[in-house]
Amino acid sequence: MSNASQFSAVDRVVDHAISRTIVGANLLIKLNGELVYSRQAGFLDREASRPMAPNTIFRLASVSKPMVSAAALAMVEAGKMRLDDPVTRYLPDFRPRLADGRAPTITISQLMTHTSGLTYDTDNGNGKPACGGTGPSDFDLAENIRRIAALPLAFEPGTSWCYSVAIDVLGGVMEVVDGRTLPEIVKARVTDPLGMTDTGFWPTDPNRLAVPYADGTPPTRMVYIERVKNEDGFVEFWTGRAFDPKAFPSGGAGMIGTAEDFLTFLEVMRQGGTPILSPASRPLLTEAHTVDLDPAPSGQGYSHGWSIYRDPTMQKLPCQPGTWAWGGAYGHQWYVDPATGLTIVIFTNTALEGCIGAFPKDILHAVYRDLQA
């Protein structure tokens, strides 16, 4: 479904991107709970001439984080753990150090808000780098957490903000607390209650899994291990992770699922959280808890699950203050504007353009132009 009469600007952005920078995309928009736009464009597999289709399965990368965070908050609500608990209560050996040699206390809340002092620099200098969840690994979750513990902290926990591997550590905490694996926890607390049958840590139907592509002119089909350039260097992708049952479950980047499933999740969160969370927990997700720690400044903050646009005008965005947003490095971005009743899911198979390139923000601007027309 593409409501061309209402969303002509969105269609133009999609058409332009598919002709140049994006191989395939699935876009879904809900307004006040009603699906007002659904378009699948380009290719699921360009070389096989397979068009993008509804319910295409994608490697989610950091789109995993909101669902794992919601599962963690559900555990907090159930009294299994507290946000102010030190991580060492559950992982006694997790004691990363500052430059002065101190191993400060890190709390569960600091993991979830990315204020722990951890980063995404996974080279610990001992020849055994940690894994950020998208790259190659031949070790289990416990070993990855040991390697993360050997990484230096960039700052005293709670004094700054830096996007990081912290949600992978959170996944390890959750396993200790619950006694089940992270995939079992997320399934029981999030995906099963919401009927998200195509979302988990391995593809339910490999035939529907989108082929990933790397930025280029035109984009190139990813190889087994692919390095895609970004402004800070490279993002490393291990495309085989999706099919390797030995791959550790990465809470920060390891899930696989559909745009349709994720739209269901976001809409439940927008409407209050039930049955995943009670309304009492909603401010943990809807309010920025890093207000004084914005390093840019960018007008953004971070909740216990995603980014909050406190002042969208600082990035010249058309959404209302309080809009939630985040993305995934394989080529995804999403927005929830509670004040407008708007939920936008943009899933592509092109990294990194579909996540941090012009495409998702061009879509965002086009949506508001169309709604105001």
Is residue 5 among the annotated active site residues?
no
Mean pLDDT, range 294-305, rounded to an integer: 87
Nearest one of 63, 33, 65, 72 to 277, comparing CA atoms? 72
Q: Which residue has the tokens 């976001």?
A: 266
pLDDT at 4: 52
Q: Which residue has the tokens 């992770």?
A: 241
Q: How many residues does the chain have?
A: 373
Mean pLDDT, range 307-328, rounded to an integer: 96
- Give the pairing of strands 213-214 and 350-351: parallel
For 90-106, write each residue's pLDDT tens digit: 999 999 999 999 999 99
The pTM of the whole model exceeds 0.85: yes
Residue 86: DSSP 8-state:
B
Token code pair at residue 2: 């593409």
Q: Is the CB of residue 192 less than 8 Å from the CB of residue 18?
A: no
Q: Which DSSP helix (H) or strand (E) runs through 285?
A: helix 282-286
pLDDT at 294: 74
Calculate what percentage of the chain has a pLDDT beyond 70: 98
What mean pLDDT is reported for the chain?
A: 96
* pLDDT confidence band for 293 (50 / 70 / 90): confident
pLDDT at 250: 98
Residue 188: DSSP 8-state:
I
Q: Among 89-93, 95-99, 243-247, 363-367, name the one with the lowest average pLDDT.
A: 243-247
pLDDT at 3: 54
Q: Cα separation of 19 and 122, whole Å?
A: 36
Indicate if the pLDDT at residue 2 is higher than 80. no
Q: Cα separation of 323 and 161, whole Å?
A: 19
Calculate what percentage of the chain has a pLDDT beyond 90: 93
Mean pLDDT, range 266-288, rounded to an integer: 96
Indicate if the pLDDT at residue 1 is higher than 60. no
SS3 at position 80: coil
For 57-68, write each residue's pLDDT tens digit: 999 999 999 999
For 110-154, write each residue's pLDDT tens digit: 999 999 999 999 998 888 999 999 999 989 999 999 999 999 999
Q: Cα separation of 326 and 190, whole Å?
A: 18
Q: Which DSSP helix (H) or strand (E) runs through 301?
A: strand 300-302
Per annotation, catalytic residue among 2, 19, 49, 62? 62
Token code pair at residue 272: 């209050």
Mean pLDDT, range 215-232, rounded to an integer: 94
